[in-house]
C-alpha cells in the first residue's frame, strides 16, 4: 500500500471512524469538488490527515494499488526499479554492468538514473519492497528484487509476472528457527514444534517481518495458537530477549542463527530466494516499448548468465584433417564443448608449400572443469592453449522470452 502526499485547499472534519494510522488524528473528509486533481484520474480513499494547525494543506492519501498515479497511457517512458540500498543494490548494478548495461547515476543520493544503451527507459532506485508495491500500483514497469520480497509484498497478485527467476545472487531462504536449548533442545521438526503441549495453554510467539507469508505458513502447518511480533531487523535477538519463542527470517550462511543460539528445523523452510526480474503484466501487454526493453534486458541477462560459468578455450593441434582432429577431441569427456568443437585449418608454409599441418580448435568449457580440460587437450597433442572469459552465449531463441509471450498470450 503506498502513501502519497497531496496538497489540498481545505479540509472538513468528518464523522468517519478513527484514522487507521495510530499516530494520526481522526479522518478529515475532502469534498470531491475541492480535491485538486493530480496528473491523472485515479480512485483514492482519503484516510486521514495531519492536524490543520500543523500542516494545513497536506493530507495522507492511501492509493488503491491497482490505480497508477500517472496512467500508463499517459506515461510513455519505461520505468525500471532497482534496489536503492542494502545487499541487493551493488550486486544488481554489477550484474547489469557485466551485461554492458551500465547504470548512469549522477550521484548516489539521486534516485533516478539512465542506462544509455536502453532508450526511453528510466531507472528508479527504490527499496526492494517499494519496487514491488510500485509495480503493483503501476508506477514501475520492471524491477529487480529478491523472490522473498516479491512473494511477501506481491501478495500473489496476478498482475506481476516473473521474467527471469534466477539472476544468480541474493541467495537465501526464508526459514523458521527456534532456540537450540531449553524446552526446544529435542525439537527438530516443524511437526514436533506444533505438537508441543506448551501451545495449548499459551500461544507460540513468532517474531517476523514477513506478515503475509508467516501467518499463512504457520496456519498451513497446523499451528492453531500463534501470535506474531513484527520487527524489521535483528530478529535473531527476539528469543533471547524473551519477546518470541521462534523467528521467521531470512537465512543465508546460518551464522546469525548460530551466533544467537538458534537452529533451523526440518520442514521449516518457507521458500528459497534469489534475485529475480519482475514485470507488470499490464505494462507488457499494453506498451510495445516495455516489451522491447524487457526483451533486450532479458536476452542480455540470459546470454550472460549462460556464459558466466564458461571459458572459451582455443588450442592448436597437429592432424591430417579436421575430421581426424575432431575425433581426437571428442574422445575426451571434458572437451565436448557446447555443440562439439569448432575446428579450422591453420595454414603454414614449408619448403614453399602451404599446408594445413595444424588445426585450431575452439571449445567452451565450464570454469570448474578448466584444468581437467587443459590436461586432456595436452594429452591429445594440444599446444598454445589460450583461455578467455565469455560475456554472452546467445542462443537462437531466448527460452524465457518465449515462455513469457506464451503466458501473456502474445
Ligand atoms: N543474509 C542474506 N544473504 C543473502 N541475501 C539476503 C540476505 N538477507 C537478505 N537477502 C536478500 O536481499 C534482500 C534485501 O535484503 P536487505 O538486508 O538489503 O534489506 P532488508 O533487510 O529487506 O531491508 P532493510 O533495509 O530494512 O534492512 C532480501 O529481500 C533478500 O532477497
Ligand atoms: O545466515 P546469515 O548469512 O547470517 O544471514 C542472515 C541474516 O541476514 C539478514 O539480515 P541483515 O544482515 O540484512 O540485517 P537486518 O536484520 O538488519 O535486515 C537476515 O535478516 C538475517 O538476520
Ligand atoms: Mg536485511
Extents of the domains making up the chain? 2-63, 78-169+275-306, 172-273, 310-389
Q: What is the ipTM of this complex?
A: 0.96
List pocket residues of ligand 2, CB cut-off 6 Å.
233-234, 236, 249-256
Query: pLDDT tens digits, residue range 188-214?
Result: 999 999 999 999 999 999 999 999 999
What CATH number should be reported for the domain whose range is 310-389? 3.30.70.120
Q: Which CATH class is domain 78-169+275-306?
A: alpha beta
pLDDT the model gives residue 3:
34
Which residue's CA is the closest to the ligand 2 atom numbered 18? 233
Instruction: Name the CATH architecture for the domain at 172-273.
Output: 3-Layer(aba) Sandwich (3.40)
- pLDDT band per the 50, 70, 90 thresholds, residue 376: confident
| Nearest ligand (C-alpha, residue 85) | 1
Q: In angstroms, what is the span from residue 76 Cα to ligand 2's centroid?
A: 38
- Of residues 174 and 72, more confidently modeled: 174
Residue 184: all three cell numbers together: 526446544
Per-residue pLDDT at 73: 56
Interior angle at CA 403, CA 400 and CA 404, nearest 5: 85
At a CB cut-off of 8 Å and minimum separation 6, what does 258 contact? none
Residue 251 has a pLDDT of: 98
CATH topology agreement for domains 78-169+275-306 and 172-273: yes
Atom from ligand 2 closest to the CA of residue 259: 4
- Which of the ligands is closest to the CA of residue 234? 2
pLDDT category at 37 given cuts 50, 70, 90 is: very low
Q: How far is the CA of 256 from the centre of ligand 2 (A)?
A: 7
**Residues 297-335: pLDDT tens digits?**
999 999 999 999 999 999 998 887 888 888 888 888 777
Average of pLDDT values for 150-166? 96
Per residue in 226-275, pLDDT (tens digit) is: 999 999 889 999 999 999 999 999 999 999 999 999 999 999 999 999 99
Q: Above 70 in pLDDT, residue 344?
A: yes
Distance between CA atoms of residues 45 and 27, nearest Å: 11
Q: Which atom of ligand 1 is nearest to the CA of 89?
A: 18
> Distance (Å, rounded) from C-alpha 193 to C-alpha 201?
14
Distant-in-sequence, close-in-space partners of 323: CB < 8 Å, separation ≥ 6: none
Place of cell 527467476: 165
Residue 221 predicted with pLDDT over 60: yes
Of the pLDDT bands very low, low, confident and very high (cuts 50, 70, 90), residue 24 is very low
CA dihedral sign, ordered 398, 404, 407, 410:
negative
Ligand 1 neighbours, Cβ below 6 Å, are 86-88, 128, 146, 148-149, 170-172, 232-233, 250, 252, 273
139 pLDDT above the threshold of 90:
yes
Residue predicted with more confidence, 50 or 349: 349
CB 244 within 8 A of CB 229: yes
pLDDT above 90 covers a percentage of the chain that reads: 61
The answer on pLDDT for 117 being more than 80 is yes
Which of 233, 237, 254 for a ligand 2 pocket mutation test, highest count of atoms within 8 Å of Cβ?
A: 233
Q: Which ligand 1 atom is nearest residue 251's CA? A: 1
pLDDT digits over 281-296, tens only? Answer: 999 999 999 999 999 9
Query: What pLDDT, on a 0 to 100 scale, did the predictor assign at position 336?
Result: 66
Calpha distance 295→81 (Å, rounded): 16
pLDDT of residue 30: 30
Using the atom order of ligand 2, give the atom closest to the CA of residue 258.
4
Amino acid at each position: 500500500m503506498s502513501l502519497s502526499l497531496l496538497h489540498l485547499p481545505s479540509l472538513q472534519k468528518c464523522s468517519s471512524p478513527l484514522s487507521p494510522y495510530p499516530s494520526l488524528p481522526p479522518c478529515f473528509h475532502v469534498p470531491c469538488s475541492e480535491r485538486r486533481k493530480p496528473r491523472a484520474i485515479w480512485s483514492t480513499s482519503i484516510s486521514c490527515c495531519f492536524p490543520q494547525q500543523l500542516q494545513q494543506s497536506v493530507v495522507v492519501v492511501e492509493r488503491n494499488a491497482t490505480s497508477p498515479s500517472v496512467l500508463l497511457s499517459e506515461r510513455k517512458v519505461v520505468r525500471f526499479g532497482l534496489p536503492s540500498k542494502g545487499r541487493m543494490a551493488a550486486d544488481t548494478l554489477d550484474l547489469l554492468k557485466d551485461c554492458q548495461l551500465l547504470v548512469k547515476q549522477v550521484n548516489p543520493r539521486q534516485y533516478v538514473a539512465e542506462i544509455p544503451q536502453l532508450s526511453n527507459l528510466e531507472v528508479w532506485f527504490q527499496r526492494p519492497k517499494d519496487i514491488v508495491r510500485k509495480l503493483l500500483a503501476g508506477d514501475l514497469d520492471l524491477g529487480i528484487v529478491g523472490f522473498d520480497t516479491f512473494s511477501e509484498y506481491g501478495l500473489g497478485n496476478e498482475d506481476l509476472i516473473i521474467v527471469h527467476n534466477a539472476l544468480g545472487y541474493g541467495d537465501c531462504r526464508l526459514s523458521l528457527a527456534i532456540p537450540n536449548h531449553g524446552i526446544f533442545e529435542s525439537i527438530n521438526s516443524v511437526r514436533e514444534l506444533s505438537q508441543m503441549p506448551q501451545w495449548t495453554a499459551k500461544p507460540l510467539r513468532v517474531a517476523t517481518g514477513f506478515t503475509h507469508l508467516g501467518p499463512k505458513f504457520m496456519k498451513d502447518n497446523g499451528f492453531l495458537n500463534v501470535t506474531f511480533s513484527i520487527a524489521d531487523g535483528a530478529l535473531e535477538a527476539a528469543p533471547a530477549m524473551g519477546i518470541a519463542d521462534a523467528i521467521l527470517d531470512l537465512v543465508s550462511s546460518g551464522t546469525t542463527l548460530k551466533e544467537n543460539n538458534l537452529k533451523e528445523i526440518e520442514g521449516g523452510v518457507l521458500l528459497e530466494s534469489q534475485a529475480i526480474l519482475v514485470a507488470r503484466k499490464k505494462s507488457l501487454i499494453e506498451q510495445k516499448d516495455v516489451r522491447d526493453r524487457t526483451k533486450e534486458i532479458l536476452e542480455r541477462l540470459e546470454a550472460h548468465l549462460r556464459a558466466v560459468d564458461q571459458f572459451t578455450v582455443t588450442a592448436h593441434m597437429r592432424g591430417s584433417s579436421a575430421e581426424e582432429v575432431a575425433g581426437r577431441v571428442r574422445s575426451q569427456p571434458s572437451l565436448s564443448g557446447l555443440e562439439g568443437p569448432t575446428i579450422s585449418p591453420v595454414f603454414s608454409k614449408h619448403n614453399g608449400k602451404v599446408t594445413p599441418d595444424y588445426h585450431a580448435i575452439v571449445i567452451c568449457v565450464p570454469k570448474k572443469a578448466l584444468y581437467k580440460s587443459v590436461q586432456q587437450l595436452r594429452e591429445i597433442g594440444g599446444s598454445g592453449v589460450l583461455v578467455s572469459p565469455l560475456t554472452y552465449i546467445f542462443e537462437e531463441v531466448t527460452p524465457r522470452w518465449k515462455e513469457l509471450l506464451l503466458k501473456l498470450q502474445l
